[in-house]
Amino acid sequence: MDSTAPRAVVTGIGLVTPLGTDVAEFFDALCLPRSGLVRPPEGHVAAGIIDSAGIAPDLDPAPLVPRHDRGVVDRFALMAVAAADAALADSGIKIGEDVDPYRVAVIASTGAGGMITFERQARASGERGHTGVSSYLYSAFLPNMATARIALKHGIHGFSSTITTACAASAHAIAEAFRLISAGDADVVVCGGTEATLGGLTGIAGFRNARALATGWADDPTAASRPFDSRRNGFVLGEGGGMLVVERADFADARGAAGYADHLIMPNPDGSGVAACLRSAVSRAGLDLADIGYVNAHGTGTKIGDMAEAAAIRQVFGDDQPAVSSTKGVTGHLLGGSGAVEAAATILALAGGTLPPTHNLDDPDPACDLDHVRGTARPAQVRAALSTSSAFGGHNVALVFQPPSTRQARTGGTDHGR
């Protein structure tokens, strides 16, 4: 990595997850661990179709979007706005006072966008023909609407974009934030991702009929998501979103902002595989492999995916393995929102000196032999950590974080066993 390039520091975190919206409570739940997975209740679109789901809380649109838009904003965008509002409040930054609006960027990514809206409008067109389709269709379902809503609400006039690389989308958004800051194109970036696939039958049925989802856990939906476990048989579909405020480190210092972690680098997703991605990320961050003390793994609970990721980690780190865990055991797979939520978990683990365990990892698959954090959270002060994401289409992302170098450091919440 170019040593003269500006460093980036994470100063704000906002979340909407199956574990709730409070950042401290989210991390506490990861460490206990307390599962956010449930059997879809009576009346939910997923009821009777899937055994387990990570359902995020309902959101009141009143404080999130203008009155005239409250009925035409898709859930994926609503979750992104809620997470962005919380992240900006957490950072304490005031756009237009602390920073020029033209020096602030927004990247709110998603895998699918407004599938709930599209499904409803397709149904309406089938019932009433072309007159049944709302004139607000495109302003609700397009994937860039989450980014647009955040920028409009907060008066952000800098670079804005949406990345749609499936389950790697929000990790890519965070990586792009670093690129913007490193290139001098922004001082502050609001970045992350969101997904609301549980709101419509089409998305649920597509994964179910592809036999990608965990089955046979109707009696205990909290046991369905089993990353790296020998009994895993698919992932659990979840919904949610996470947004970070990332600032140029010297800019954050100048305004006295406290940081959670320094965000260093992410390699281009060149399709060469997870191992090459991990090596490149660490190298371009100017670190040695020995500096990595923790990996928050993609770890979805699929047979082949977990084996491939474990093999890549072993190939890269050899006998000197970092601690590894997947937080999907309690959240399920949030698809396009997963990378940002898991980056937040990694940042909080660094800040709090506590590594969350992989829930439901009762009998580790020998083919996934790693230094798993399991059972209880592990106290650990690590020099650097990786958060990994992978997606359909061969997109692999690795984000490297270190404790912040700014004057003030944010803490990661409750003491878990230290």
The residue with tokens 């991702």 is 193
Q: Please check whether residue 245 lies inside any domain of the structure.
A: yes
Interval 253-299: pLDDT, tens: 999 998 998 766 554 433 347 898 899 899 988 999 999 999 999 99
Q: Please check whether residue 417 lies inside any domain of the structure.
A: no
* Four-CA torsion 364, 369, 370, 376, nearest 10 degrees: 10
Q: 154, 172, 263, 298: which is the annotated catalytic residue?
A: 298
pLDDT at 396: 86
CATH code of residue 174: 3.40.47.10
Is 372 designated active site?
no
Is 31 designated active site?
no
- Judge whether 368 and 310 are in contact, CB under 8 Å: yes
Q: Please check whether residue 2 lies inside any domain of the structure.
A: no
The residue with tokens 């649920």 is 204
Q: Please check whether residue 409 lies inside any domain of the structure.
A: no
Better-predicted residue by pLDDT, 408 or 153: 153
- Report the number of distinct structural domains present in the chain: 1
Bridge partners, residue 238, by sequence: 54
- Judge whether 303 and 388 are in contact, CB under 8 Å: no
Q: What percent of the residues of the chain are helix, what percent strand, and what percent coil, each to the nearest 5?
A: 40, 20, 40
Q: Please check whether residue 416 lies inside any domain of the structure.
A: no
**For the whole model, what pTM was predicted?**
0.92
- C-alpha distances (whole Å) from 199 to each of 16, 112, 196, 204 are 15, 12, 6, 8
Q: 167, 191, 277, 368: which is the annotated catalytic residue?
A: 167
Q: Please check whether residue 3 lies inside any domain of the structure.
A: no
Is 298 designated active site?
yes
Interval 15-43: pLDDT, tens: 999 999 999 999 999 999 999 999 999 99
Half-sphere exposure of 176 (CA within 13 A, CB side): 25
User: Which of 50, 31, 30 has its CA nearest to residue 40?
Assistant: 50
Interval 352-364: pLDDT, tens: 999 999 999 999 9
Q: Could you tell me the residue range of the domain that residue 33 belongs to?
A: 8-404
Interval 198-231: pLDDT, tens: 999 999 999 999 999 999 999 999 999 999 999 9
Rounded to whole angstroms, the Cα distance separating 280 from 412 reads: 28
User: Which of 72, 81, 70 has its CA nearest to residue 106?
Assistant: 81
Q: Please check whether residue 247 lies inside any domain of the structure.
A: yes
Q: Residue 33: is the preceding peptide bond cis (ω within 30°)?
A: yes
Q: 154, 172, 263, 333: which is the annotated catalytic residue?
A: 333
Q: Please check whether residue 172 lies inside any domain of the structure.
A: yes
Rounded to whole angstroms, the Cα distance separating 299 from 303 reads: 10
User: Which of 384, 380, 404 has its CA nearest to residue 290?
Assistant: 384
- Judge whether 15 and 86 are in contact, CB under 8 Å: yes
